Structures are given as C-alpha cells and as structure tokens.
Chains A and B, each alone.
Chain A
Amino acid sequence: MINDRLQNRRWIIAGIITVVVLIYIARLFSLQIIETRYKQGAESNAFLRKTIYPPRGLVYDRNNKLLVYNKPAYDVALIMREIHDLDTLAFCRALNLSKEYFIERIAEIKDRRKNLGYSSYTPQVFMSQLSIEDIANFQENLYKFRGFYIQNRTLREYTYPHGAHILGSIGEVSRRNIEADSYYRQGDYAGRDGIEYTYESSLRGVKGVEILLRDSKGRIQGNYRNGEMDEAPKAGTDLYLTIDIELQQLGEQLMNGKVGSAVAIDPSSGEILAMVSNPAFDPSLLVGRQRSVNYASLVKDPTKPLMNRATQAQYSPGSTFKPIQALVLQQMGGITERSLFPCNGPGSSPIKCSHHHGSPVGLLNAIEQSCNPYFWYGFRAAIEKEGYGEKNLLFKKHYQEWIDAMKSFGLGQKFADSDIFEQTSGNIPSQKFYNRYYGETGWRAMTIRSLSIGQGEVLVTPLQLANSMAAIANKGYYITPHLNANDTMQVRRHQTVVDSSYFPVVIEGMWRVFEYGTGRHYKIPDISMCGKTGTVENSRGKDHSLFVGFAPRENPTIAVAVVVENAGFGATWAAPIASLMMEKYLKGALERTELFERISTSTTNPDVKKR
C-alpha cells in the first residue's frame, strides 16, 4: 500500500519548499548585496519618532465659564548613553537639586526592578512637571549638559478652587492602562477620576508624531522628508458641563466646616447644576510636582475629603422619604387622598411620632407634620392588602411591588447610563435579603416597619435623593442625571410607575412644609416652594440633618437634596442651605446675606478643615 502513485507528490512538495527557500535567498541577496539604499538607511538615517502631545480639551460650565485649562510644564529627560563629561555640580545648581538627590535619582533610573522599560539608548524621564520658572535657568545652560533634553508637557490649571470631585484629575498611566489601550505609552497622562476619566477619549485628542532622522551616534539630523510624513496632533474636544460654577461655589461655601453633600438638578433636563461634597479640596492640589504629597495627605485625612459624598455616601433618608412613600402607597392602594389614621404623638405604637398634632391625620397633614404612624399604617395597608397567603407569598408579591415602585424613582441602584464617575447603589432591601435574615416566612410588615419612615435598611445617596425630587417635580418621570451638557445620549427619560394623578396632593403637602411647617423660616419671598426636612437617627453620634425640595411649585427649574452629617434637626442646617442655593439659582443673587453669613461660618464638625 505504501508504494502508491501518490508517492511522487513528495517531489512536488519538496520542489515547492526548495523554490520558496531559493526565492528567499535571492531576496536576501538583493536586500543585502545589490541594494545600497538600506545600508545608508541604517548608517545615516535612523528614525526617531517623537511624539507631539495634543492640548487636552478645555472644560466649561453651563454658562460658558472656563473651569479647566492647560498650562505648559516641562520634563527633564536623559539618554544615559549620551551623557559625557557631565559637570554634576553645575547641573545640580541649574536645577536647584542636591547632589545626593541627583545620585539617588540616577540609580533609580538604572534600576530595572523599579524602571522596567529602562534602556540606555532611549530617553528616560529624570524630573517631571517642572514649571517655566524651575526650568528657565537650566534651559539656558542646556548645551553644557550633553544627553539631557527638555520635553514639553501640559498640566491642568483650574480657574476656580471648586468642583474637584466633579472635575477629577489626570495622572500618569499605569501599566494596566497601557496594556488595555494601545494608544498609551509609558509616561502619558490620562484621566483618573471625575469627568476627566469619563470623557478621557474625547478630551485627550490624538497624539501626533514627528519623524526625525538621526545618525548612528544619536544626533538629530532634521525632519525626515522635510516633515512630509509627520502627523499633526489633533487637539482634544472641549467639554461643556451642566454645572453652574457659581452655584457650586455657593454650595461649597455653605457646606464649609460641615460634613455632607448638596446636589441640585434641573428636573426638566436631568442636568446636574451643582454637586457639592464636603470636606472638599482645591483641584489644583492634585497637579504637578506636589501631587503625590498632597494626595497622601488627603488620603490620610480622617474626614475623607477624596470621597464624593454626593454619589458615594449612602444615608437613611428618614422623613425625606415620605413624599415618595406617599406616592408609592397611593399607587399601591394602601392610602388615598382621604385616608385617615390615628396618631398618639410620642405615645404611638409600634412607631412613635415626634410631634403632637391632631388625630386622626390625613395625607396632607401627615406630610406637613411628618407623621410617622400615618406612614406605618399606610405601608402596612399596602403590602398586607391581600393578607399573607400561603408561605407569605401574597405579602411578598406586594412587597416586591413596593420595591419595583421605589426603584422606578432611581433608588437602590446606580444610574447606569450616566456619565457620573464612581456611584454607590444605595439600598432598597430585597426579599432575598430578608429571607436570608429571618427565613422564608419569618418576616412580616411588622418586621420591616422602619422602611415605612425611611429608616432601617433603606439607603440612598444624595444624588438619588435629589433625583427623586426631580421625578416629583416632573409629576412622574426623571431624566438620567448627567454632567455633560452636549451629550444627548445622556438624556434618557425614565417613567416612574406612579400615576400622575397622585402627585398634586403630595406636592401640596410639600408646599405646606414651606408655608406652615418645618421649612417656613426659609421660604424665599414671592416664590412658592416645596420641600421636606428630615432628621435621621444614625449609629454614629448626632442625627443627620436632611432636606429635599424643589421650586418653583409650578414649572420647577431646580430640585435639591442636602445632607449635613451629625448636625441635628433637618430644619436647622439642611433646609437653609437648600433654600439659599435655590435662591441663588432662581434669582441670580442672594438677598438673605445674614443667613448666608451665619450658615457659611458655622461649623458642625471641628475636624473639617475650613477653606
């Protein structure tokens, strides 16, 4: 069988192999012996591809005020192999360094464990991010220091010392960045957090390249083909934010000396007008040579200034939860506009009321007076409306209905389609959670009664709270809250499950809070406002002071949520801060300067560094 006719085919295969090898040898002959152009190529024309960095996109606020721009900075680089006869003393004097630092730095560069890409033939960064003042003296004397170069860079500069959490910062790319995106090279900068991170790919632009010729000793001989093959860099795209920097500034001033957050949203568009988190810091601290020192001290600060409390901190909403609760309970049929429930003030059971007011209570009064028993009875009526059923399944079905309704207001989850960096999801506790905790049938309305008044396991972020106000202001829907004013992808409408007919009574109740209730001292004259205060018990000291609201009552243009941690009554701190921010946005200026002075100069937490 082995002696088949196909055996001859081995010669054809051998022939193909031989022909290919011969062609390659001929090609080698032509490249290496006949053509001279490649030889010259190597001896006189080696290419040096020099990267030209594009200017990063600028950032403006909603009124076209410049927030972030670029300033030039300089790196000192060296090519180890080209350094000859260096006058170390003169060099150190020119850059104002100690000789010890110089020796240490050179050793660091040569250490392959620390500097993985080291080669004595390629440029290595010796010092980075120097200002023009630092570099001026050195530049004059550069000709004396063979092997040293100056590379141009740009750094971020900020017009206002505000909005650091929103803007974020840029920093040198990590090895992981480089592996993930082939655009980056070691030493490049990229957005680390905030909008610098979210919009990195449009802000960064496109790097250009200049092709230089150099001889075998590394000396630059000029541009290859007179720059014909160079590629010009493409500048980054400018970014227009939804933020009103003056409102942001006011918010940060009001929160001075306090811990917490204030968020303002334009309900009609979902545009975030201000997003304050305090303690805050000046964004320019995280730029340039001082970055690492400043960053380390911010990390160590026990009040956690780097954390964006507006999106990353979660709180029990307490009484500020009642407006949404009132909407959801109406939708579920637990209460109606006319329902009345008894209240015994502080003697009520199982949930006490913090106020003395008439009994029985209706919905309007319950919101205005923040009546706890009313919401407990309503909550129980809604989820127990068909009893418990077999294995509590009917009860659980209605509890799930409650969860879904809450989630339709954007609670208990991140805004997945938003451009906001680093959110936490908050918590609307799931059935699974209680099943695990109490067993499949071990929990009833009574077990989870704290949910009815926004305490217990329910957690929200200030951003979610402000957004839920936007949904009430819009009578039933919200637009994904976002930061980029020109990104239409962000404008997504989310309908809540609550019918629009249930809104007027809740809005009326919230209006009464400002007319007769806890907010009455902070009403802006001639603007009809809606709101709700909250005083939230928590495990770490004094109560949190909360406020939510929107204004004007007709066609609202601003929805606000304010949280001041461990400060006391909602009406004392959060309400005036929110009211002042609404005044600033609606009227353009503050008339209540005395109130502003009092709030902005008082401190609720002595650990917070005043700014």
Chain B
Amino acid sequence: MSKNDNIQHTIDWTTVIYYLILVVMGWVSIYGASYEIDYEGSILSFDQRTGKQFVWIISALVLGGVILLLDYRIFNYFAYIIYGFVLLLLIVTIFVAPEIKGSRSWLVIGPVSFQPAELAKMATALALAKFMSRHNFVIKGWKDMVPLAIIVFIPFAFILLQKETGSALVFLAFLFMFYREGMNGIVLLLGSLAIVLFIVVIRFSIEIIGDNQGSWGIIAALGLIQLIQFLVSFKSQTHKKESLIIAGSTIAAGIIAVVVNNWIPVNYNYIAGAVVVLTALFWGITGLLRRYPSLSGVAAVALVSVVFIFASDIIFNKVLEPHHQIRIKVLLNMEDDLTGAGYNVNQSKIAIGSGGFTGKGFLNGTQTKLKYVPEQDTDFIFCTVGEEHGFIGSTLVLIIYWLLLMRLLTIAERQKEVFHRVYAYSVVSILFFHLMINVGMVLGIMPVIGIPLPFFSYGGSSLWGFTLLLFVLLRLDASRLERGR
C-alpha cells in the first residue's frame, strides 16, 4: 500500500477541494434550473436531470480515483496512442452519430450517449506535451509551430465536421500554452488587434459619412492603425521629426479632403486608406534601408491591416448571410433582436439582472423556472446562479474558478519535466477558455457559442471529460516526489 500512501500525501488536495466545491455547486444549480414545484418524486429520481447528474458525479469521482491509482508514466508512454484512438473515435462519430440539433457529435450506445469531442481535449494536450517534451524541442520560429499546429488542427477539423463549432473553437485555447512555451507574443497581440479592428469596422459601419462617401467604422480603424504607426515611429528616437511631419500631413490630408468635398464629392474611405498605405510604404522602405526592423515590422502590420479592414467590411456586408449578420450585430449591441438571435442572451441577462445583490434565494428564481432561459441547465447554467444567488453568489463562483486556475498555474510551474508542464498549461488554457466564453456569453459580452461551464453544466460527457483532464494533471503532479526513486 506504500504507493497509495504516497498518493495521499503528494496529491494536491487544494485543487481537489476546489473541484468538489464546483461540482457540488453545479449540481445544486441544476436542481434549481430543472426544479418544478409540483414534482413529487425524489431529487435523486432518474427521470429528473438532478438524479442523472448525481450518477454522473459519482461515476466521475470513481473515474478520478482510478486515474490517481495508475502509474504516472503511462500517460507519457501512451500519449500518441490515446491521441490516435480519440481521432479514430472522432471520425467514426461523424458517420455513425445521429443528427441531434443539427450536429453529429454524439455516439449513442444503448441508453448511454457520449460526445468524443470532450475526450479530444485531453488527448490533444497529451500529444502536444509528448511532442514538445522531445529532446531539444524549443519554439524558436514559425517552423517549430507547424507540427504543433497540425496536432491541434486534426481534431479541430474533425469536430468541425461534426458541426460542433463551439467545441472546435476550444482548441484555440492551446495558443496560451504555446505562448508560455515560447511562441512569440506578437501572435497573441496581432490576434487581439484583428478582433479589435473587426469589431470597430462592423460596429460603426452603419454610421455613414455624407452621401455614402465612407463609413466611420473604416475611418476609425484606419485612424487606429495610423496612430500605432505614429507611436512606434515616434518611440524609435531616431525618426521623431519624420513621424511628426507624417502626423501633420495626415491631419492636413483630412482637412483638404473635407474642403475639396465642397466642390467634388470624395470617398473618405479611399483617401484614409491611401494615407495609411503611403505612410506604411515610407516606414517600410526607411526601415529596410536603415535596418530598423521595428519600423518595417509595423509597416507590414499596417499594410496587412488595411487589407483586413476593407475585407472585413466587404465580407460582413456582402458575403455573410443576413442571419449571421444579425448574430454579430446583436452581440455588438447594434440591434435588439429580442425575438430571434438576441432572445437567449436577453432572457439570460434578465434572469441574472433580476437576481440583484443577494439573489432571490434557492429554488425561487422565476425566470429560470418559467423556462424563459434556454439550455438553462447546460450552457446557460450560470444564469441560475445569478438569479438565485445574486451578485454575491455569482462572484463567489467566479472567484473559485480564479483560485482554481491560479492554483493550477502554480502546479504547472513547479513541474520538473516539460511533458508535465506542457500538459498542465494545456489544462489551464482549456479551463480558462471555457470559463471566458461560457460566462461571457451568459453575460452578453461574448458571442453565443454553445460550450459548457466546466464541472458545472449538466451532462455526463463534459463532466467526465473535465474530470479526466484535471485528474490526469493531479496524477502527473503527484509524481514529483516519486522521481529518482
């Protein structure tokens, strides 16, 4: 029994406690969400979701226990085999799964149905950890990223083929882990810049200037790029004078355009675009000739951005179908579509908002009870917390998630083997991504992407998936004292 004693002493009990708190709170919330006043059966009754979830929780705990009893080396040893097996499962699912709500992602075996996509997160994390722990592997340039991108892309594509866009997007989370392992931070920054530019262009594209002579969205986005060019060049010390001249010329160009417009109608979009492009060409050539990579770099970013800005506008207004446009518009608060796409989010906001400071009390939520909130025990479970336990309760839940993530970061950094650390960061990234998207969606600041809240949402597949993810990490972590014996 010496091995078991070992486990008891080395396992990270803090994490286990956070895990248990979240699972139990989730279960209570599911009870609140699916509760019906005149239902006479027991809380554990099988025709209620609480009863089923209870079974899932117990079996997940058993699963977690079993993982802790396994030898920690097998995860490293079998990483690729597990990955390959899960990929196979994903392919099979595409063909044999029945269509449920438009997606083909559930494997149905007798009375039990399971979503292999939930397993894919852990399997991909293991495969990446194994690959990145190869001797001498370091992320230096984009070439090192290629195999990693392939490992992530295969399950991503299969899940996309199952029409589970939400679960597929979770694989973006690995970017955080790549960043920790050496991927250039610029990738994260540029990604954020692209999102900001897209939002600015779309959000203000309805603000038309004059007689269809340009849109404030495009002008504002181009202005932002010009500002970035100015700041970078001004900071470079050696080119202060030129950068000031360009800034002046930009403003002058704007004024001239407005004046000329009195006689000849001008298209402001094209003028602003031309100004940004000319500036970028100037800095690009200067940077190349005088060997200032930061100048040519920012110029390249500016040029790509100009293309991206005009492309965003065209794609949104010409290529996207009206119902996609509406989803995006609702998200950006441009439209109150309370009957269609905005209905869910609006109901969710009403439910949370009506909770107030202390909430309406356990089982007293009317919004969730009256079934106004869709998917109230799965993707929108956080609503029930907000309505019944108010600001206090929902903040508490967020804080517990934060504590858990911080704890996992600590665990990640104390690992002595690359395999363990990469896996730990993968877990942090996946859990964080789920939390960010799910809670953001319920609060109406993220798009409606149907992914569950870890440990909280109703459903066996997701609970098993997250338990597996977390307990494999706990097992790896518990081995830190076993080494060298």
A residues apposed to B, CB below 8 Å? 1-2, 6-7, 9-10, 12-14, 16-18, 20-21, 23-25, 27-29, 31-33, 35, 37-39, 41-43, 46-47, 49, 80-81, 112-113, 119-122, 179-180, 182, 209, 211, 216, 224, 229, 231
When C-beta atoms are compared, the residue in chain A nearest to B102 turns out to be A182
List the one stretch of B151-159, B304-312, B439-447 in contact with chain A: B439-447
CB-based contact B101/A182 at 8 Å? yes
Within B11-50, which residues are at the interface with A (CB < 8 Å)? 36-38, 47
Give the chain B neighbours of A13 by CB distance below 8 A: 176, 179-180, 409, 425, 428
Known: A6-B180, A21-B402, A209-B339; 14 extra A-B contacts, CB below 8 A, are A12-B179, A13-B179, A14-B409, A24-B443, A28-B352, A33-B357, A39-B353, A41-B354, A42-B354, A42-B366, A47-B347, A81-B38, A179-B100, A231-B339
Give the chain A neighbours of B213 by CB distance below 8 A: none
Shortest CB-to-CB span from B371 to chain A, Å, is: 7
When C-beta atoms are compared, the residue in chain A nearest to B425 turns out to be A13
Closest 4 CB pairs of A and B: A38-B353, A42-B354, A41-B350, A32-B391
When C-beta atoms are compared, the residue in chain B nearest to A31 turns out to be B353
CB-based contact A112/B339 at 8 Å? no
- In the bound complex, what is the Cα–Cα distance between A144 and B440 (angstroms)? 47
Q: What DSSP secondary structure best describes chain A's contact surface?
A: helix
CB-based contact B391/A42 at 8 Å? no
Interface 1/0 per residue, B85-115 and A, CB below 8 Å: 0000000000000011110000000000000
* 5 residue pairs from A and B, CB less than 8 Å apart: A10-B412, A21-B399, A41-B350, A42-B354, A113-B47
- In the bound complex, what is the Cα–Cα distance between A6 and B184 (angstroms)? 11
Q: Which of A2, A41, A119 contacts B371 (CB 8 A)?
A: A119
- In the bound complex, what is the Cα–Cα distance between A229 and B439 (angstroms)? 28
- In the bound complex, what is the Cα–Cα distance between A206 and B257 (angstroms)? 50
CB-based contact A24/B180 at 8 Å? no
- CB of B65 within 8 A of chain A? no
Shortest CB-to-CB span from A10 to chain B, Å, is: 6
Give the chain A neighbours of B282 by CB distance below 8 A: none
CB-based contact B356/A33 at 8 Å? yes
- In the bound complex, what is the Cα–Cα distance between A12 and B176 (angstroms)? 10
Number of A-B contacts (CB under 8 A): 130
Within B431-470, which residues are at the interface with A (CB < 8 Å)? 432, 435-436, 439-440, 443, 445
CB-based contact B354/A29 at 8 Å? no
Given contacts A29-B391, A216-B366, contact A9 B353 (CB under 8 A): no
CB-based contact B432/A9 at 8 Å? no
When C-beta atoms are compared, the residue in chain B nearest to A35 turns out to be B353
- In the bound complex, what is the Cα–Cα distance between A29 and B391 (angstroms)? 7
- CB of B181 within 8 A of chain A? yes
How many residues from B make CB contacts under 8 Å with A? 60
CB-based contact A31/B47 at 8 Å? no
B residues apposed to A, CB below 8 Å? 36-38, 47, 99-102, 176, 179-182, 185, 338-339, 347, 349-357, 366-367, 369-372, 386-387, 390-391, 394-395, 398-399, 401-402, 405-406, 409, 412-413, 415-416, 418, 421, 425, 428, 432, 435-436, 439-440, 443, 445
Give the chain A neighbours of B37 by CB distance below 8 A: 81, 120
Give the chain B neighbours of A21 by CB distance below 8 A: 398-399, 401-402
Give the chain A neighbours of B406 by CB distance below 8 A: 14, 17
Give the chain A neighbours of B432 by CB distance below 8 A: 17, 20
Shortest CB-to-CB span from A58 to chain B, Å, is: 29
Q: Which of B38, B99, B180, B390 contacts A32 (CB 8 A)?
A: B390
Shortest CB-to-CB span from B192 to chain A, Å, is: 10
Q: Which of A38, A112, A120 contacts B352 (CB 8 A)?
A: A38
When C-beta atoms are compared, the residue in chain A nearest to B358 turns out to be A32
CB-based contact A24/B354 at 8 Å? no
Given contacts A32-B386, A33-B391, contact A24 B353 (CB under 8 A): no
CB-based contact B47/A229 at 8 Å? no
Given contacts A42-B350, A120-B38, contact A32 B356 (CB under 8 A): yes
Give the chain A neighbours of B36 by CB distance below 8 A: 119-121
Give the chain B neighbours of A112 by CB distance below 8 A: 47
When C-beta atoms are compared, the residue in chain B nearest to A6 turns out to be B182
Shortest CB-to-CB span from A462 to chain B, Å, is: 36
Give the chain A neighbours of B182 by CB distance below 8 A: 6
Give the chain A neighbours of B180 by CB distance below 8 A: 6, 9-10, 13
CB-based contact B339/A32 at 8 Å? no
- In the bound complex, what is the Cα–Cα distance between A113 and B46 (angstroms)? 12
- In the bound complex, what is the Cα–Cα distance between A14 and B416 (angstroms)? 20
Given contacts A9-B179, A182-B102, A211-B338, contact A32 B353 (CB under 8 A): yes
CB-based contact B353/A10 at 8 Å? no
- In the bound complex, what is the Cα–Cα distance between A211 and B342 (angstroms)? 14
When C-beta atoms are compared, the residue in chain A nearest to B412 turns out to be A10
CB-based contact A32/B371 at 8 Å? no
- In the bound complex, what is the Cα–Cα distance between A80 and B416 (angstroms)? 62
- In the bound complex, what is the Cα–Cα distance between A211 and B409 (angstroms)? 48
- In the bound complex, what is the Cα–Cα distance between A120 and B386 (angstroms)? 24
CB-based contact A32/B357 at 8 Å? yes
- In the bound complex, what is the Cα–Cα distance between A532 and B190 (angstroms)? 80
When C-beta atoms are compared, the residue in chain B nearest to A39 turns out to be B354
- In the bound complex, what is the Cα–Cα distance between A21 and B439 (angstroms)? 10
When C-beta atoms are compared, the residue in chain A nearest to B391 turns out to be A32
Give the chain B neighbours of A80 by CB distance below 8 A: 38
Q: Which of A6, A12, A41 contacts B181 (CB 8 A)?
A: A6
